[in-house]
Amino acid sequence: MVIPDGGPRAEPGSFRDPANRVFHAGPDVLRALDAGAAADWRALAATDFFPALMAEGKVCGTELVDPADPLPADSGEWAAVLRHERIPFVSHPYEWSFAMLRDAALLHLEILRTALAAGFTTKDGSAYNLQWRGVDPVFIDVGSFAPAREGEPWAGYRQFCQTLLYPLLLQAHLALDFQPFLRARVDGVEPEQMRRIFGGARRLLPGVPTHVHLHGAMQRRNAAASTSDVRAQLRAAGYSRELALATVRGLTKLVGRLDHRPAASHWSDYQRTCGYTGQDRVAKERFVADAVTAAAEPDLVLDLGANDGRYARLAARHARYVVAVEQDPAVVDELYRGLRAEREQRILPLVMDLADPSPGGGWRSVERAGFAARAARADVVLALALVHHLAIGRNVPLPEVVDCLTGWCAPGGRLVVEFVHPEDPMARRLLANKPDGLFPDYRPEEFERLLAARCRVVQRLELPSGTRTLYQVMVGG
């Protein structure tokens, strides 16, 4: 993902730990450390486990740089500056599928277990500390590592439960999609909420007695106690690093056993039911491949409405990175599992309703950037068999649909868009549930007029079936 050049700017989501702060300076991701954090970094860099985790790709690449590297003048006094590798595309946990969240949780626990064995710990346990290189999770919060103190519990346990374990329990045990829970609260699912959900016989489900009810009871009992008081109590009770490691091993075993494989949905069988002929598929794949190739190895391709990833895979042959967005969590989960089996590092699948994409969230609604802000500079945007779902299925005016799709392209970027004619079987199915005459402007000639008014149509192809038309357009630039 290309970040525009310009002066250094603070990362809006990096402010909760005053000991370090992340900045963007052109293509660089910099982390400024205060004196205490700099000492922790020097100790961390001297270990055997941390360089090994980086070499295995489990922790983002990090190096110490000249502290004179440019930072904002008002950023404060810092003792050291680190440079991190840039993640291709930033995503949020409520955009992940079940298997993605589980794999991220398992990596988090693996890193913590490795750190504890070497005398270190992580100060945080948040799902937001992880990102993705394709289907490989990677831990990014290097500032979270600190020397472990004997007798102290893992400070990130509550965060881990609220943003990773609890969402997994909701979906594995109750078949509730976790994404709305995480999107609603940046801090995740509260123990008290989980306690009410997992009452009665549900109290005995795996992981619930210890990590929901006992955890909640401990919080209520110590509500008036300070953190130092709780730590003192645990030390007096004989809490040790060995017990902490045992807890992490238990969590790893629990998370590894959680699973959710939903029944097949309409969208999971879309390639068989969508009505394309063999000739249509061949022509469409050739058209898409030509458009992506014409962009000369694009850095970022967005595949909007990716379904089973057929065209995301095709685009990945010619692009550095593809973000495949699909509304159905079950379809994304199946796609992720398939890509993981293929060890594909150029495709990131995400769960998202494009008629209600991820908004900005957290503090001042900028702590977690909305999807539009993260995706607005794609080199190629694929919008295949999508327009009719937005314009007819979700009643979005056709000009708004075109504005949205072209708005995700970088200047000079390409949009590959498919218009499904009103007489197409899939369009007729959607129109059958709408009042007659509700969409008088939903016509191919009107769609072409809207495209031509906003960008340059480079190529047009009517598929052999005669009810779908593909367009390749250049946007701005």
pLDDT digits (tens, 9 = 90+) for 141-172: 999 999 998 878 888 999 999 999 999 999 99
Domain assignments of the chain as residue spans, ordered by start = 9-86, 94-257, 267-475
Rounded Cα distance between 69 and 82, Å, is: 10
Rounded CA-CA distance 320/298 in Å is 6
Residues near 349 by Cβ (< 8 Å), separated by ≥ 6?
97, 100, 135, 306, 309, 312, 324, 325, 326, 332, 335, 336, 339
| In the predicted structure, residue 7 carries a pLDDT above the cut 80 | no
pLDDT value for 151: 78
Section 396-417 average pLDDT: 95
Q: What is the mean pLDDT of residues 446-459?
A: 95
pLDDT attached to residue 4: 40
Convert the pLDDT of each residue in 16-71 to its tens digit: 888 999 998 888 899 999 999 999 999 999 999 999 999 999 999 999 997 665 67
pLDDT value at position 472? 97
Q: Which residues pair with 457 in a beta bridge?
A: 473
pLDDT at position 70, please? 64
With a pLDDT cut of 70, the percent of the chain lying above it is 89
Residue 378 scores a pLDDT above 60: yes
Is the per-residue pLDDT at 222 higher than 80?
no
pLDDT tens for each residue of 95-119 = 999 999 999 999 999 999 999 999 9
CATH 1.10.3470 applies to domain 9-86: no
Angle 335-337-343 (CA atoms, 0-180°, nearest 5)? 100
Looking at the domain 267-475, which fold is it?
A: Rossmann fold (3.40.50)
Contact 10, 75 (CB under 8 A): yes
d(CA 372, CA 200): 42
- The whole-number pLDDT of residue 3 equals 36
Cα separation, 195 vs 347, whole angstroms: 37
Parallel, antiparallel, or unpaired: how do β-strands 322-326 and 347-351 relate? parallel
When pLDDT is averaged across residues 232-242 and rounded to a whole number, the result is 62
Judged against a pLDDT cut of 60, whether residue 270 lies above it is answered with: no
Higher pLDDT, 267 or 265: 265
Same fold yes or no, 9-86 and 267-475: no
Give how far the C-alpha of residue 26 lies from the chain's centroid of Cα atoms, to the nearest Å. 22
| DSSP string over 322-371 | EEEEES-HHHHHHHHHHHHHHT--SEEEEE--TTS----BSGGGTSB--H
pLDDT score of 2: 35
Mean pLDDT of the chain: 90
